[in-house]
Chain A
Amino acid sequence: MIHLQGVTKQFAGKRQVTALERLDLHLARGEMVSIVGPSGSGKSTLLNLIGGLDRPTEGEIKIDGQALSTLSDDGLTRVRRDKIGFIFQFFNLLPTLSCLENVSLPLHLRGWPRKKIDERARELLDLVQLSGRLEHLPDELSGGERQRVAIARALSVFPPVLLADEPTGNLDTHTGAEILKLIHDLHDRLGATILIVTHDMVVAESCPRTIGIRDGRIVTDVRRGDARREMSRA
């Protein structure tokens, strides 16, 4: 589903910084993978490249068989729109829009009919157990609820890939565990490929596969059995 070959990312500046170096990675369809590493190791950069938010300096990235390097900016946007859902640490909800409107946003951008958008948004908010908060503004929600709305928005078109950047990083332990459970449930139900960047080892170890990154290179790639996963969900 996600294929990276020889991906390098350098940032130009007074001193050139190499964030990722000749990185190869393959994620199968429906796989749930966590990426861990210290600050500045390149894990967020990796997520940005896979999500088409940024372009690699070298190498090739393919999402669902489609090479991103050949795409224009709008082409990349279309890939994000159709195939990728984002979950951010700080939620990135639009403060002026209600929950319903925030979840509807990607659907409007796709030009869906209003009625269909409304139905889908309500369905998604129901899925994340927020059907009672449709007209609330983000400021009127708790941190956990905001992240649920963000997840509903990421799932709006049921994308085959879900990218989460520190999804529990801005939440307390209890709420974080709830969100993690929700992500696992959705994975089970929707079967999307999920990639989670995290500092939190509980989150990382709840995933069947964990990739460790240091200084822009993959240093570990651990696969676990379902038992471990079940344990973290318990």
Chain B
Amino acid sequence: MMLLRLISWPYARKHLLRWLLTMAGIVLGVGVFVGMHTANQSVLAAFRETIDKVAGTTQLQITAGEPGFGEEVLEKVQSLPEVRAAAPVIEATVSTGQGNLLILGVDMLGDRSLRTYDLEGTDEAIDDPLIFLAQADSLIVTRTFAEKNGLQVNSRVPMRTMQGDLIFTVRGIMKPGGLASAFGGDLAIMDIYAAQKFFGRGRRFDRVDLALLDGVTLADGSAKLRALLGSGYEVSPPSSRGEQFEQTSRIYSLASNITSIFALFIGMFIIYNTFAIAVTQRRSEIGILRALGATRSQIRTLFLTESAIAGSIGSGLGVLFGIVMAHAMASYIGNILTEVYGVAQRADGIQVDPVLIGGAWAMGIVTSLFAAVIPARAAAYVDPVKALQKGRNQALSEGESLLRRWAAVGCAAAAVIAVIFSHSTAIFYAGFVLGGVAAVLLAPSLTLWLSRFLRPLLAFLRPVEGTLAADSLIQSPRRTSGTVAALMLSLALVISLGGLARSSYDSLADWMRIALNPDLFVTTAQSVTSRTFVFPASLGDGLRAIPGVDEVQLVRSVRVPVKGGPVMLVALDIGSVERRAKLPAVEGDAATMYRRTERGEAVLASENFVRLHGGKLGEVLEIAAPSGVLKLPIAGIVRDFSDQQGSLLISRQAYIRFWNDDSVNVFRVYVKQGAQDSDVRQRILDTFGKQQRLFVLTNKDVRDYVTRLTDQWFGLTYVQIAVAVLVAILGIVNALTVSITDRRRELGVLQAVGGLRQQIRHTVWMEAAAIGFIGLVLGLLLGAVELYYAIEISRRDLVGIDIGYAYPFRTALALAPVILIAAFLAAVGPSESAVRGSLVEALEYE
């Protein structure tokens, strides 16, 4: 403790800027980790809170995937003696001018035994549920929603429904709290039979909520219900919907984990760098301490304690930064998850998890300690005799370099072998890690070689400034290589993510060209992925009768449980798809697979379904449907990007038969040759637009939507890129700040013998540019390798789709000026400090 106060504190105070920069790496790493996870958890918590509040006293919910089930199921459930109360529910999210509104369609006669509707005042319509029932246009809204929209009892609310534009009447306002606070208070209650009509559900419910008699356990109740209903139904407590949401958004969570861990990893390099330099700079101090009797262990502990303190402060600031970031990100992430996964939630505030905060804080400290282990060991082994000799440096030993190089070669060789045996996931990931380790171990040697290579070039450009800049890099491999390694890793991340994005866009463009070729899409919402409203099948005939329409494909997309997870089942006219939009076959006989699927004998599985859920060609899938378990083999594997979790294509007839549901999400309309898309679109709107909720999107609208969705997804990639570049810049600033301190006397001499300020600035700028250039070269090279791994990881564990390897040359070209400019900007402060300090002190500096 005394050593800390006497030795460490004065040093830290003297080099405050450098310590702040060092801590910035940890702040950023911990901040991104806390920010992303807190935002994720907040979205999940918001979803769970909505489920919880909507559930009321519901103990079990009966569902059958998104298509729901017929009304007869309710009677069956109610007939079970163990069931105290059962009520049907339709849950739908509609877009209003004020954002999303969650509409709960309930049976007011039976629902009050499960949910409490705490209404303001005493209104006749609500006191007698029969009156509420009798008036199909009735809505109960929450106080929050009413205030936001200036509503009161008897106010009129317009809504676009499957019955056309209708006016609803507010018949009651719920007091805040309880059910009324679900979905951020943006909630409305509607009679279930009205909801069936207005959302196009026919005579179906989304689910049945129920409570068991006292004394009946959940396990018993569930078992009895399962036995009663058969395998096509899921019986689970409301909380299990949160798990499904987590499972669905697994890819997103993984991506955010990678970003934060990467930021922390780069932060670790910055800390290593700072401590390695501190040991070099403080060698005489260490020598004195050793001469005065300090043990090696005391010296090591001193440096590790400094590191723990820096890590602790950095982590603390990182936690605060992360919480601020989470506030900004929660609604953005919520929107992405709603768009991509179709799970509505409202994350207005954030939920701070003490375990996460504690874990992140500890992680920051451990990272900091880990980064300081090698420098602390080096400090402990400083030779006091050499340390006390003025002007004598104890350089990185050749033995250490050689050992490191051999270790790098070993890791690289092991990584190459791992690629050969990469069918094993463990070996593949081991190879990925070893490749990274090899690059990091090789970074000092490569930096040295590249610096030597650059010396003549820099000397040619500016004989004095250039030579000194290159020599500064050559002479201080420790100072430079840590920064270069951080920069290299950052840029490799940028290249791999940029390349992945580029390749994904290319593959998506190919798929859109083939699969999204209808001229028009008739949908129930502006977004093609929305499945809140559904059309009756009969609309298809009406569309076919529109002049100019050549062919109409009826598409029903629903998420159903397959292989233990929710999978997108796309029911459509397979024969028509084969003619019009034949998806490329990845596996299977292209000539027969469509025909077998069309006949209802098989399904077509998307490439990513097979990868992510472990299926194979010919495997018989068991798909639970309300009328029994559908057992169909996979007749072919096709490239389909309909859903991130994978999709199954099934014949529409088979779907109708097993799910007893002939509704439609989207009509894909092909226009006759010679007819104008815009004319046909207008005719559809004129004919059906007023009768019901209906949108007609052009091919371009849909493609733009898919691209926008992908942009939103890769928006996270850009956050990752920004973090990577920011950390890299911090690294350069750190290295240059240290370099200026290290070279203080040298720069002083340069000025003493006639170097102008501009010439001093040039040498610092050139050093920064050289660091940037070396980091850029190594980063672009490592990026080529990382891109291979990114594509493989994406194929194996994320989206399951094979995308071609395409090095993002444009990104690489764009990075060159970005990094060089960033290096220059990073050099401005240090170069000014180099020219503005006292020349006399610089010449006396040791």
Contact = CB atoms under 8 A, between A and B. Distances in A.
B840 A73 contact: no
B131 interface: no
B757 A73 contact: yes
A90 B389 CA distance: 13
Given A54-B839, A106-B753, 20 more contacts: A73-B835, A77-B751, A77-B755, A78-B756, A80-B752, A88-B843, A90-B390, A90-B391, A96-B467, A96-B468, A96-B471, A96-B474, A97-B467, A97-B471, A105-B750, A106-B754, A109-B464, A109-B755, A110-B754, A114-B463
Contacts of B66: none
B745 interface: yes
A54 B464 contact: no
A95 interface: yes
Interface in B438-483: 463-464, 467-468, 471-472, 474-475
Nearest to B455: A96
Contact of A92 (B464, B471, B474, B749): B749
A82 B753 CA distance: 9
Contacts of A54: 838-840
A74 interface: yes
A53 B840 contact: yes
Interface of B: 390-391, 463-464, 467-468, 471-472, 474-475, 745-746, 748-759, 835, 838-840, 843
A137 to B, nearest CB: 10
Nearest to A83: B754
Interface of A: 48, 51, 53-54, 73-74, 77-78, 80-82, 86, 88, 90, 92-97, 101, 104-106, 108-110, 114, 153-154, 156
Nearest to B751: A77
A106 to B, nearest CB: 4
Question: Which of B749, B753, B758 has the most A CB atoms < 10 Å from its CB?
Answer: B753
22 contacts: A51-B752, A53-B752, A53-B839, A54-B838, A54-B840, A73-B757, A73-B835, A77-B756, A86-B752, A88-B843, A92-B745, A94-B471, A96-B471, A106-B753, A109-B464, A109-B750, A109-B753, A109-B754, A109-B755, A109-B759, A110-B754, A156-B753
Contacts of A80: 751-754
A28 B467 CA distance: 38
B70 to A, nearest CB: 85
A45 B241 CA distance: 79
A53 B753 contact: no
A88 B752 CA distance: 11
A54 B467 CA distance: 27
Question: Which of A53, A88, A95, A154 has the most B CB atoms < 10 Å from its CB?
Answer: A53
A101 B467 contact: yes
B463 A108 contact: yes
A74 B467 contact: no
Contacts of A95: 475
Question: 9 tightest A-B contacts by CB?
Answer: A81-B754, A96-B471, A108-B464, A108-B463, A106-B753, A92-B749, A109-B754, A53-B839, A106-B754
Contacts of A74: 756-758
A51 to B, nearest CB: 7
Contacts of A51: 752
Contacts of A81: 753-754
Question: Which of B745, B748, B749, B835 has the most A CB atoms < 10 Å from its CB?
Answer: B749
A114 B467 CA distance: 14
A154 B843 CA distance: 15
B750 A96 contact: no
A101 B840 CA distance: 23
Given A48-B840, A88-B843, A96-B471, A109 B391 contact: no
Nearest to B754: A81
Nearest to B464: A108
A104 B754 CA distance: 12
Question: Which of A80, A97, A101, A109 has the most B CB atoms < 10 Å from its CB?
Answer: A109
Contacts of B750: 94, 105, 109
Contacts of A94: 468, 471, 746, 749-750
A124 B755 CA distance: 20
Contacts of B468: 94, 96-97
Nearest to A51: B752
A108 B753 CA distance: 11
Nearest to B753: A106
Contact of B753 (A48, A90, A105): A105
B843 A53 contact: yes
Given A51-B752, A94-B749, A77 B757 contact: yes
Contacts of A105: 464, 750, 753
Contacts of A77: 751, 754-757
Contacts of A96: 467-468, 471-472, 474-475
Contacts of A82: 754
A56 to B, nearest CB: 13
A97 to B, nearest CB: 7
Contacts of A153: 753
Nearest to A112: B463
A220 to B, nearest CB: 25
B481 to A, nearest CB: 17
A173 to B, nearest CB: 20
A121 to B, nearest CB: 12
A42 to B, nearest CB: 13
A108 B835 CA distance: 19
Question: Which of B390, B467, B838 has the most A CB atoms < 10 Å from its CB?
Answer: B467
A46 B224 CA distance: 101
B843 A92 contact: yes
Contacts of B390: 90
Given A53-B843, A92-B843, A108-B463, A86 B471 contact: no
Question: Which of B390, B468, B472 has the most A CB atoms < 10 Å from its CB?
Answer: B468
Contacts of A48: 840
A86 B753 contact: yes
A51 B218 CA distance: 92
Contacts of A97: 467-468, 471
Contacts of A73: 757, 835
B283 to A, nearest CB: 16
Contacts of B745: 92
A88 B753 CA distance: 11
A36 B839 CA distance: 23
A7 to B, nearest CB: 15
A114 B463 CA distance: 9
A92 B757 contact: no
Nearest to A77: B756
A106 B755 CA distance: 7
A95 B476 CA distance: 12
Contacts of B756: 74, 77-78, 109
Contacts of B752: 51, 53, 80, 86, 92
Contacts of B474: 96
A106 B752 CA distance: 9
A88 B391 CA distance: 14
Nearest to A96: B471
Contacts of A101: 467
Nearest to A73: B757
A90 B391 CA distance: 9
Contacts of B391: 90
Contacts of B835: 73
Nearest to A165: B843
A94 to B, nearest CB: 6
A94 B750 CA distance: 9
Nearest to A85: B753
Contacts of A110: 754
Nearest to B743: A94
Contacts of B471: 94, 96-97
A16 B757 CA distance: 29
Contacts of B753: 80-81, 86, 105-106, 109, 153-154, 156
Contacts of B754: 77-78, 80-82, 106, 109-110
Contacts of B749: 92-94
A160 to B, nearest CB: 14
